[in-house]
A and B are shown apart, each in its own frame.
Chain A
């Protein structure tokens, strides 16, 4: 069945970097993209960005520009999300979700989600 498997819990110091993986299975990776969403403790959902599984084109949230990089590895059907210069307010659960393949293709929706990766930033 269609699944997104995320990497495990991370604990980082302020100023460090974290890289979270999201491995897809059960579908053709290059036919979809991946959206990343995070949720700080007790807070709502925040869209972080999107990457195409076809050509690795990206769109990032303005407030994370310069600290965020999304990549894909088509040999392992895995998407990665890296946040640099971590701060305490980056503490959150990070989710990946299957999404559109091209930035102009509106007929896709986030129908499959990973279980989430907890990232804690603390000194």
Chain B
């Protein structure tokens, strides 16, 4: 199985400041036929279901603010939040879906300072 490793596990951020979360995979997530990277990011706000933020490395899901962006290649990925807002608190997960079983990172808890 592909192992996903996130850092940091806890991320205190001052509102208005940027934040970055890193994710590394134990194998390449690059599609053989199309060159896409099959890495998604989810946010689970307190008491809610996970919600899709970013799919296929860098595509924002519908309704996601443009302060969220995803970058990376092959096995190293980053979620960027340009200016953190109070509503961004929660658990952030990366997940690979290039092969079954899908695997998630451990989660990064973003909190407001």
Contacts and interface: CB of A to CB of B under 8 A. Distances in A.
Interface residues of B, number: 29
Interface in B16-36: 31, 34, 36
Contacts, number: 59
Given A109-B56, A110-B40, A111-B62, A44 B104 contact: yes
B38 A47 contact: no
A90 to B, nearest CB: 17
A62 B95 CA distance: 18
A103 interface: yes
Interface size class of A (residues with CB under 8 A): 20 to 34
Contacts of A111: 52, 55, 61-62
Given A106-B31, A106-B97, A47 B55 contact: no
Contacts of B65: none
A100 to B, nearest CB: 8
A44 B107 contact: yes
A106 B61 contact: no
Interface of A: 35, 37, 44-47, 50, 59, 61-62, 95, 97, 100, 103, 106, 109-111, 113-116
